[in-house]
Amino acid sequence: MDASPLSDSDSLAPRKRLFGRERPIHAVLGGGKVADVLLSRDTRIFAAILFGSAAIWLLYKVVQYNVVTLFCQLFTATMLVIFIWPTVAEFFNWGSVSMTSKLQWRAAQHPSLGESLHWRQVETTSDLELHTQLKELIPEKHGRLNKLKSKHGKVELGNITVEMVVGGMSGLTGLLCETSLIDPEEGILFRGLSISECQKLLPAAKPDGEPLPEGLLWLLLTEKVPSNEQVDSLSKELRRRATIPDHVYQTINALPVNAHPMTQFATGVMALQVQSEFQKVYEKGIHKSKYWEHTYEDSLNLIAQIPVVAAYIYRRIYKNGHVIPMDDSLDYAGNFAHMLGFDNPEMLEFMRLYVTIHSDHEGGNVSAHTGHIVASALSDPYLSFAAALNGLAGPLHGMVNQEVLVWIKSVVDECGEDVSKENLEDFVWKTLNGGKIVPGFGHEVLRKTDPRYTCLREFALKHLPDDPLFKLVSDLYEVVPPILLELGKIKNPWPDIDAHSGVLLNHYGLTEAQYYPVIFGVSRAIGICSQIVWDRALGLPLERPRSVTIEWLENYCKKPAQD
């Protein structure tokens, strides 16, 4: 059971002395994001006494008011200022322990209440600064984690089998990731919210439009759904941070134009690393409790800069180097599409949806885990994300959407666009019997159709129902799973997001499949950087699991038989 947010943060809260008694300021006032004169209770009390004394003197001398009555009324007014104001301040979420935080704590005490309180995450504060929101949340989270370790550190989470050790640690619970969680039946949950809930709750660029990635970034970092004003403010901040040093372009230009887009992308991120704020302050010496703040600065800079770098690479490879500048009137994903060269409003909406739903997928996938383990060595976000990109470039991870489109086009080349389901079944069997896989089907964790796939399918039904490749994807959804079930080699035969995303990009004119992992990488920066910020905020240690040899496993497995 979680501790109350008040009790968890008492030891960390700023303290003020009132009439010789120390109390946490939020215990009475709420911590304060109001005018400075209201931040200190001592200041307010002094002002109230001064004002009251002056008023008594004026009314007594000028108006000849009854002294006793006057004193009683002014005393009452003074007490109202001192003691009623804190309640009002907290009600409007001016305190460091907000009404939303209290609702979350109370919901944790009553699970049935918590399940009906997705609305509890809706942001109510008027503070537009993401850093401030995050800074207030960290002490509470840190306290909960310390309490969890001290009370339940020895609780076992399951058994480790030989199959897990030699099978890529599949099914092994061994990581902490605050930003998202994969439910085998429900799919990805961003801070407890499903994709459909995010589509309803996160701010959009237009009424009934797709969610803005800036809103998801806010949600991942603060676990609160931001307001439109907060998302607008964050969009402006990211545009302000999006300046790229000339040496980055020079470094990319040193590579052959025909180098794989992901090679150029990872190189560009490494070139950005020379501006790392974390590295600079770490070399000078900094307390570990401050690591997260400089990690946050690097992360927001990186998130802001990589769409510009990615668009430059696309224009360099495919458009003769003609670069399109950023449009200050557009949001994060809209600007990315614009810099790539696409201004179709539908394409901008699709890019907003794409970046949002690709941004995070808990901590165990190749790119997220790579980013986490590299960052656990206190490598800065640039180094960590560059490593993550190299994992994302693999054919079994971020390159799958590229492989899907290539495979689908091979179906069209051999069977035509109007291929029958019978001929499609034959082609699938031909692929499998040739020792290959059908790309985009089967997920390591999910046990049903990926909700991200469903989300993209709904978008396609709305905007491009007659696209020939979309129709082919729909037929594959009916044909492939029964065949994979018949083989009996995978637990989940259903399609994941990669089975659909490439077809949509192709429809809107982005036909260069080799570039698709770069778009995935731009999206994934939001999740990986958010995870790294929280890794440093919680003080997570260096990751160092133990490894064993085949001989060690053989000897260990013989022990029960000998006993």
The DSSP H or E segment spanning 347 is: helix 345-358
CB neighbours (10 Å) of residue 258?
A: 7
Please tell me the predicted confidence (pLDDT) of residue 103.
42
Q: Are 467 and 507 in contact (CB under 8 A)?
A: yes
What's the token pair of residue 388? 């993550």
Q: CB of 496 within 8 A of CB of 452?
A: yes
CA angle 530, 532, 535 (to 5 degrees): 115
Query: What digits encode the pLDDT tens for the residues 236-256?
Result: 999 999 999 999 999 999 999
- Neighbouring residues of 287: CB distance < 8 A, sequence distance ≥ 6: none
Residue 110 — very low, low, confident or very high, per pLDDT cuts 50/70/90? very low
Q: Of the candidates 119, 122, 136, which has an alpha carbon nearest to the alpha carbon of residue 12? A: 136
Catalytic residue among 8, 331, 498, 535: 498
Residue 498 annotated in active site: yes
Out of 217-226, 356-365, 378-387, least confident range:
356-365
The active-site residue, picked from 294, 361, 369, 443, is 443
Written in H, E and C, the secondary structure of 362-384 is CCCCHHHHHHHHHHCCCCCHHHH
Report residue 444's pLDDT band, with 50, 70 and 90 as the boundaries. Answer: low
Select the highest-mean-pLDDT range: 156-170, 215-229, 434-448. 215-229
- Reduced to 3 states (helix: H, G, I; strand: E, B; else coil), residue 230 is helix
What letter would DSSP give residue 4? P
What pLDDT, in 10s, does the model give residues 15-41? 333 333 333 333 333 333 333 334 444
CA distance 324 to 347: 16
At 55, the pLDDT band (50, 70, 90 cuts) reads low
Give the C-alpha separation, 388 to 411, whole Å. 32
Q: Which is catalytic among the residues 294, 361, 369, 397?
A: 397
Mean pLDDT of the 130-148 span: 94
Categorize the per-residue pLDDT at 130 as very low, low, confident or very high, splitting at 50, 70 and 90: very high
142 is catalytic: no
Max CA pair span of the chain: 104
Q: From its phi and psi, is residue 362 left (phi > 0), alpha (psi between -120 and 50) or beta?
A: left
Query: Which of 392-406, 412-426, 462-476 shows the lowest mean pLDDT across its residues?
Result: 392-406
Q: Are strands 15-18 and 21-24 parallel, antiparallel or unpaired?
A: antiparallel
Q: What is the pLDDT of residue 99?
A: 37
Confidence of residue 357 (pLDDT cuts 50, 70, 90): very high
Nearest-10 Cα torsion for 81, 83, 88, 94: 100
Query: Lowest mean pLDDT: which of 110-124, 153-167, 218-232, 456-470?
Result: 110-124
Quick check: 11 pLDDT over 80? no
Hey, which bits of 371-479 come out as E strands?
none
Cα–Cα distance, 370 to 348 (Å, whole number): 30
358 catalytically annotated: no
Give the tokens for residue 506. Answer: 């192709």
Counting every residue written for the chain, the total comes to: 563
pLDDT tens digits, one per residue of 301-356: 999 999 999 999 999 999 999 999 999 999 999 999 999 999 999 999 999 999 99
End-to-end CA distance of the chain: 41
pTM: 0.77
Q: What distances in angstroms separate CA 441 from CA 329, 425, 428, 494, 518, one per listed residue?
A: 39, 15, 12, 5, 21
Dist CA 511 CA 315 (whole Å): 13
Name which of 228, 196, 190, 224 is nearest 212 in CA terms.
228
Cα-Cα-Cα-Cα dihedral sign, residues 530, 533, 537, 540: positive
Label residues 170-209 b or e (16+ Cβ within 10 Å = b): eebeebebbbbbbeeeebbbbbbbbbeebbebbbbbeeee
- For residue 131, with 0-12 CB atoms within 10 Å meaning exposed, 13-18 middle and 19 or more buried, which class applies? middle
At residue 127, the pLDDT reads 61
Q: How many CB atoms lie within 10 A of CB 277?
A: 17
